[in-house]
Amino acid sequence: MKYDENLDFLTLFERYYLGDMAPEERTGFEARLQSDPDFAAAYASELLVFKSIEMAGQADFLAKMKTIHQEQVPVKKTARIRRLPSAISWAMAAVIAALLAFGLWWSLRPPSPEALYAQFYSIPEFDTNRSGFVPSGQLDQAAGFYKVKDFQAAANVLSDYLTSNEGTAKDSLYLSICWLETGKAAQARDLLQTLSSNASLADQAAWYLALSYLKEGNTAQSSYWLKQISEGTLPATPILKAKASEILKKLG
């Protein structure tokens, strides 16, 4: 017999599941579940159906509980709050609205050149490794000062070193950074401009030129050098190109 298509058995399964059986009938039903595998399999199929209804019912019940919670709990809490006179409430609301509007305007306004400089400027690491070249004590000394941010001392040593040695473009870049850091922007820019024609450091030189102008609020000059990087006029790394484009976009 196919239990799962027989209405009498389906009714029996339903009564057992809902607990609508007298104890003796229930015992008999459970005994048959143990002894008749087809009967047990048919009940298992029907149990899946009952369980799916049960679970959907539980979800419905929990949604109902959430509604009751929202209706009851906020009422208790707001009841504890003393109401302010309406004129004061309106004044406070106006102040809050004004503050929110100011905050929104503040967060959406374009960033100042100084802010962009602070966001993007960082000094390059001093690299003393030179291929086919034995670093001199002077270079190590300059690197030491540079590392502890004593840029004046680093500039002095680097200047002496570059006067008496051939040096590399990198050393000139570090010297220009030292000058930027010690307020000798014009001197630094002259050197950076020379470096901008050096293929290996052109993008770095243009980058620091742009940032030095940005620091002073000279957005025209800054944009000029940033475009040299972003538009590929100078050979530049993808990271630097992206950064230059980002600043240009923020400058509008």
Within 109-198, where are the H helices?
113-120, 137-147, 151-164, 169-181, 185-195
Integer CA distances (angstroms), 103 to 26, 40, 107, 192, 252, in order: 70, 68, 6, 40, 21
State whether residue 4 is helix, strand or coil.
helix
Q: In whole angstroms, give the CA distance from residue 139 to residue 170.
A: 12
User: Can residue 46 be called a binding residue for another protein (CB under 8 A)?
Assistant: yes
Q: How far apart are the first and last CA of the chain?
A: 81
- Member of 45, 89, 159, 194 binding another protein (CB under 8 A): 45
Contact positions with another protein (CB under 8 A) in 80-109: none
Whichever of 47 and 169 has its CB closer to another protein, that residue is: 47
Whichever of 64 and 249 has its CB closer to another protein, that residue is: 64
Neighbours of 77 (CB within 10 A): 8
- Member of 40, 55, 99, 118 binding another protein (CB under 8 A): 55
**Candidate segments 60-68, 96-104, 106-114, 244-252, binder of another protein by CB under 8 A:** 60-68
Nearest Cα neighbor of 142 from 160, 129, 124 is 160
**Candidate segments 51-59, 110-118, 140-148, 237-245, binder of another protein by CB under 8 A:** 51-59
- Member of 9, 10, 141, 246 binding another protein (CB under 8 A): 10
Q: In whole angstroms, give the CA distance from residue 150 to residue 152.
A: 6
- Member of 2, 35, 37, 48 binding another protein (CB under 8 A): 48
Neighbours of 83 (CB within 10 A): 8
Contact positions with another protein (CB under 8 A) in 25-44: 44
Nearest Cα neighbor of 227 from 213, 208, 207 is 207
- Member of 27, 58, 197, 233 binding another protein (CB under 8 A): 58
User: Can residue 52 be called a binding residue for another protein (CB under 8 A)?
Assistant: yes
User: Can residue 18 be called a binding residue for another protein (CB under 8 A)?
Assistant: yes
Least gap, CB of 48 to another protein (angstroms): 5
User: Can residue 240 be called a binding residue for another protein (CB under 8 A)?
Assistant: no
Residue 21 near residue 32 (C-beta atoms within 8 A): no
- Member of 1, 2, 8, 19 binding another protein (CB under 8 A): 19
Task: State the residues that interact with another protein by CB under 8 A.
Answer: 4, 10, 17-20, 44-62, 64-66, 68-69, 72-73, 76
